[in-house]
């Protein structure tokens, strides 16, 4: 069985992430979205909240699962017996960062393949960080995230704008 992981912090999951996950789910027999519990950046949502938001968002994708993890991504990939890691590339700055990570991951786990997918054009600019900034200032992000995520964002920032 071909298994891939799609790791990230997903704080929160966006339509760009879902675009990548949906397309990767067509390529692999099983896709596991790996939610990194403690990335080296401030988080708006807890790991449990992020997992739940993703589970709701991928409910119609039967071969996609969600799991949180800590530590090295390659260790997570080995634990779930993944042969590939899926990453999204939005722009050239993503490429440089992803290339560096890919080379390190290849050193740590030579058998793990990297598959990069570009999101649809309308999501090329979209990042969770930018999304949170707009939402925190009361901007409308309804067309950039699933409905339940937009609602969760409004709830987090209620009275803070």
What amino acid positions are annotated as catalytic residues? 17, 41, 90, 128
Strands 3-8 and 30-36: parallel
Write out the two tokens for 49.
Answer: 């909240």
Q: What pairs with residue 7 in β-bridges?
A: 34
Q: Do residues 19 and 121 lie in contact, with contact meaning Cβ atoms separated by under 8 Å? A: no
Rounded Cα–Cα distance for residues 3 and 91 (Å): 26
Report the candidate in 86, 91, 131 with the shortest Cα–Cα distance to residue 113: 86
Q: Which of the 8 DSSP states describes residue 121?
A: G
């Amino acid at each position: 069985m071909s298994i891939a992981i799609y790791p990230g912090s997903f704080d929160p999951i966006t339509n760009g992430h879902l675009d990548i996950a949906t397309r990767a789910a067509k390529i692999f027999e099983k896709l596991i979205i790996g939610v990194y519990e403690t990335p080296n950046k401030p988080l708006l949502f807890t790991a449990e909240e992020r997992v739940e938001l993703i589970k709701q968002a991928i409910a119609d994708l039967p071969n996609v699962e969600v799991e949180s993890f800590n530590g090295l991504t390659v260790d997570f990939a080995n634990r779930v017996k993944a042969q590939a890691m899926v990453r999204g590339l939005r722009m050239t700055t993503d490429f440089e960062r992803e290339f560096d990570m890919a080379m390190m991951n290849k050193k740590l786990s030579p058998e793990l393949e990297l598959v990069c997918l570009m999101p649809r054009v309308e999501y090329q600019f979209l990042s969770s960080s930018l999304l949170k900034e707009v939402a925190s200032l009361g901007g409308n992000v309804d067309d950039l995230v699933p409905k339940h995520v937009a609602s969760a964002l409004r709830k987090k920032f209620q009275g803070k704008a």
